[in-house]
């Protein structure tokens, strides 16, 4: 079993984004960390065709789900895709490919050389994103995005209360995150099994997989907590990207602090496969809003 792997859960709409991610990994993966991509079985042929030669191993999501005990796959299929994909990502460890994995989203891009030391301590402990998201929340308040602030505290309280933890609300993100199999296993053994729940049940209840992992780490201490700041520069909203663009902040500067960048797919719709949806008027409207930093 490898100490560390890279993993991305994707689907057909994000094909071009995964291509971009895979090329960036091919360019900067100096230690040849294994890279796995999982997609629905129905998308396997498409991804096999377009990701050939990019140095990754393609897996069907169903292989991950079949390795998970107590998984009701029929119930999982009834969940929205944005929720069910969280279950797949969080159960990847069950395939025993690695002890820890960097869980990447399709819209991630590496911008500099990287290796194990970016994600694990010399003792093999993962670095865990843990802060109070003040930068994001302050930025949201400046732009009068009160819903962003409200959602953060509401979501934090939901999972925190389930574990009975009192104290400060934490953010356990943003993605990509480094997840250790021992933490997911401790969640299953100490929380899910005694309640006759699967991880799908938990995420259906509160669909924020990073918080389930983070609160389980704090509660059961399966691995030491080594807090770190974000591994990637994440543009949660287009106004943030617009601010940096106008300030002249480019990838070469961001590489001082970050391994990569994430551009939210919601405002990169021109990279949807096979094409950006909607008629020409809706596409033009989205591009104008992106340009104005309003998405």
Q: Write out the chain's pLDDT in tens, 295 residues.
A: 999 999 999 999 999 999 999 999 999 999 999 999 999 999 999 999 999 999 999 999 999 999 988 788 888 888 888 899 999 999 999 999 999 999 999 999 999 999 999 999 999 999 999 999 888 888 889 878 889 899 899 999 999 999 999 999 999 988 999 999 999 999 999 999 999 999 999 999 999 999 999 999 999 999 999 999 999 998 877 777 888 888 888 888 999 999 999 987 665 777 888 876 655 555 565 566 555 655 5
Q: Give the integer Cα–Cα distance in Å for 26 and 37.
A: 14
Per-residue pLDDT, 285: 59
In the prediction, which pLDDT does 276 show? Answer: 66
Q: What per-residue confidence (pLDDT) applies to 248?
A: 87
pLDDT at 89: 97
Which residue, among 97, 58, 59, 91, has the nearest Cα to 76 in the 3D structure?
A: 91
Q: Structural domains in the chain? A: 2-233 (3.90.550)
Range 246-277 burial, b when 16+ CB lie within 10 A, else e: eeeeeeeebbeebbbbbbbeebbbebbbeeee
- pLDDT value of residue 281: 59
Question: Global pTM?
Answer: 0.90
């Amino acid at each position: 079993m490898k100490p560390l792997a890279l993993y991305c859960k994707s689907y057909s709409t994000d094909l071009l984004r995964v291509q971009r991610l895979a090329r960036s990994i091919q360019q900067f993966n100096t230690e040849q960390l294994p890279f796995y991509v999982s997609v629905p079985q129905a998308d396997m042929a498409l991804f096999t065709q377009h990701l050939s030669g990019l140095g990754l191993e393609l897996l069907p999501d169903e292989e991950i789900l079949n390795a998970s005990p107590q998984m009701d796959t029929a119930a999982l299929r009834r969940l929205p895709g944005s929720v069910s994909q969280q279950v797949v990502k969080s159960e990847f460890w069950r395939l025993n490919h690695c002890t820890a994995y960097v869980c990447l989203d399709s819209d991630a891009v590496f911008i500099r050389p990287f290796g194990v030391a970016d994600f694990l301590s010399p003792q093999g402990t993962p670095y865990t994103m843990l802060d109070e998201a003040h930068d994001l929340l302050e930025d949201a308040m400046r732009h009068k995005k009160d819903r962003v602030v409200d959602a953060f505290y509401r979501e934090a309280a939901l999972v925190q209360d389930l574990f009975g933890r009192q104290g400060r609300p934490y953010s356990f993100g943003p993605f990509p995150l480094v997840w250790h199999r021992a933490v997911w296993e401790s969640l299953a053994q100490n929380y899910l099994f005694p309640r006759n729940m699967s991880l799908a049940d938990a995420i259906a209840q509160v669909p924020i997989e990073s918080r389930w992992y983070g609160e389980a780490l704090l509660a059961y201490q399966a691995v030491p907590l080594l807090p770190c700041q974000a591994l990637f520069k994440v543009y949660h909203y287009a106004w943030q990207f617009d601010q940096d663009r106008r300030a002249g902040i480019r990838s070469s500067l961001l590489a001082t602090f970050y391994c990569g960048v994430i551009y939210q797919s919601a405002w990169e719709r021109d990279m949807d496969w096979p094409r950006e949806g909607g008629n020409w008027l809706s596409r033009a409207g989205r591009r104008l809003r992106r340009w104005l930093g309003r998405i």
